[in-house]
Amino acid sequence: MPHRNGAVRTLTGVECTGRSLAVKIANEMVELTAVQMQTLERLFAAGFRPIAIPPYENALCVHRGECAAVLAPVENGGLRLLSPVTVLVDGNLSVKLKKVGGDVFVWKKKEVAATAVRLKDLEDFRVELLGILETGGQQ
């Protein structure tokens, strides 16, 4: 992840410099542990990408396709889900609502249908994300 020449690279709140990796959380740069760095590398290898999501720009958010999650560091050096995984609607975290016409994911007044395919994609995203988070730096 670090550039070979030691330059700083920022990926939506993630800074890499040399062998150090820091993440911006609550308006301050938090240096990640070796386990957290390995976990992020495994997430990136699995196709998860960092993303800034209003108003969570200072949290570590990841997405793959239209599914997203907010992560937080934990004391043991790992990462955990800060909130349930969800679907991005207009680039924002949504909430799932039950409606007479069928379940929907909503952000403000914009809705997307909670189709069987979308729900399966979200469950696959959740299972793979949790699997990576639970194994931490183990390979």
Alpha-carbon distance 115 to 107, whole Å?
16
DSSP letters of 23-57? EEETTEEEEPPHHHHHHHHHHHHTT-EE---TT-T
CA 98 to chain centre: 25
- For position 94, what pLDDT does the model report? 97
Tens digits of pLDDT across the chain (139 residues):
333 333 333 344 555 444 445 555 545 566 788 899 999 999 999 999 999 887 887 789 999 999 999 998 888 788 999 999 999 999 999 999 999 999 999 999 999 999 999 999 999 999 999 999 998 756 5
- pLDDT value, residue 53: 86
Distance CA 39, CA 135 (A): 8
pTM, entire model: 0.78
pLDDT at 74: 86
> Where along the chain do its domains lie?
9-92+121-135
CA 114 vs CA 86, 87, 120: distances in Å? 11, 9, 10
Q: What is the pLDDT of residue 14?
A: 54
**Residue 55 confidence (pLDDT):** 84
